[in-house]
Amino acid sequence: MRFRIYRYNPETDTAPRMQDYEVEGLEPTMMLRDALLRIKAQDETLSFRHSCGEGVCGSDGMNINGRNGLACITPLGELKEPVVVRPLPGLPVVRDLVVDMSRFWHHYRSVRPYLIVHDPVPEVEFRQLPAHRDRLDGLYECILCACCTTSCPSFWWNPERFRGPAALLQAYRFLADSRDQETESRLDELDGPYRLFRCHTIMNCAAVCPKGLNPTKAIHAIKKLMVEHAI
């Protein structure tokens, strides 16, 4: 099978280049990560992040034939040759397929992604009805792979100020939690023309999320909450 892989090592390369590889003996049910590991066994200089191999750690988001996804759960059988693999777009490249995620983490931290409760805590658990707990489904599963945010045109154009779909999904994860007591201030923080409102419902984010999550829906829900709280 044929692969074209983005290569860039700041110590030796003046500019990025695409390198072709041919790998024998791959099966269609194998994943792209398996192929990359084979390539790395031949050519140690190829760098990429990966760990769990089962789509739960979020390490190996990359751009695969033009679309963001996780290498470890992308079956080779679904890919057109040559398979073109690039780093996630919209973030600075450190080396090869490794991007600098600082900006992504900055936005994540900025939405205060943690439960805030002011009431004294009970001896036992907070009660949360199943119907309330169900509201967290589709939100808490986010693995912070950045596939969504780096496919969002609004983020490419406003990377400093627009929080991006992943962070906004997390913002909503806490707004939606019946236990959280910072609704007002969370909403206030997202107000203004950029942090939230740069989303133009382009929907790239939901289309690429490897966990099947829908940041667009979460963004809508935040907007709706804002309207409700304004009146």
Partner 1 sequence: MKVARRRFDTLVIGAGGGGLRAALQLSQAEANVAVVSKVFPTRSHTVAAQGGINAALGNVLPDSWHWHMYDTVKGSDYLGDQDAIEYMCRAAAHLVYELEHAGVPFSRLEDGRIYQRPFGGQSQNFGGEQAARTCAAADRTGHAILHTLYQQNIRAKTHFFDEYFAVDLIKDDEGFVLGALVLEIETGEPLLIEAKTTLIATGGAGQLFRTNTNAHINTGDGMAMVLRAGLPLQDMEFFQFHPTGIAGKGMLITEGARGEGGYLINKDGERFMERYAPKARDLASRDVVSRAIAIEVREGRGCGPDGDHVLLKLDHLGEETVHKRLPGICEMARIFLGIDPAEQPIPVYPTAHYTMGGIPTDRFGRVVVPVDSGEEAIPGLYAAGECACVSVHGANRLGGNSLLDIVVFGRAAANDIIKFLRENRYHRPLAQDGVDAALAHLARWDRKTGSESVAALRAELQAVMEEYCGVFRTAEVLEQGLDKVLELKARLDDAVLTDHSRVFNTARIEALELENLMDLAVATVTSALARQESRGAHSRVDFPERDDQRWLKHTLFYREGRRLDYKPVRMKPLTVEPFPPRERVY
Report yes or no: 146 and 163 within 8 Å, Cβ to Cβ: no
Q: Which amino acid is at 90?
A: G
Q: Total number of residues binding partner 1 (CB under 8 A)?
A: 56
Q: Which amino acid is at 212?
A: G
Please compute, for residue 224, the number of CA atoms within 13 A of its CA located in the half-sphere on the CB side. 9
Helix boundaries (H) for 111-159: 130-134, 153-157
48 closest CA partner among 20, 2, 6: 6
Nearer to ligand SF4, 7 or 63 (CB): 63
Residues 79-118, mask of contacts with partner 1 (x by CB under 8 A): ---------------xxx-x--x---x---x--xxxxxx-
Asked whether position 53 contacts ligand FES by CB under 6 A, the answer is yes
* CA 77 to chain CA centroid, nearest Å: 24
Q: Pick from ligand FES, ligand SF4, partner 1, none: which does 185 bind, CB < 5 to 8 A by kind?
A: none
Q: Which residues bind ligand SF4 (CB under 6 A)?
A: 142-148, 152, 154, 165-166, 169, 199-205, 209, 211, 213, 215-216, 219
Asked whether position 58 contacts ligand FES by CB under 6 A, the answer is yes
Report yes or no: 222 and 188 within 8 Å, Cβ to Cβ: no
Q: Pick from ligand FES, ligand SF4, partner 1, none: which does 179 bind, CB < 5 to 8 A by kind?
A: partner 1
Q: For the CB of residue 76, give the shortest distance to partner 1 in the complex, in Å.
A: 13
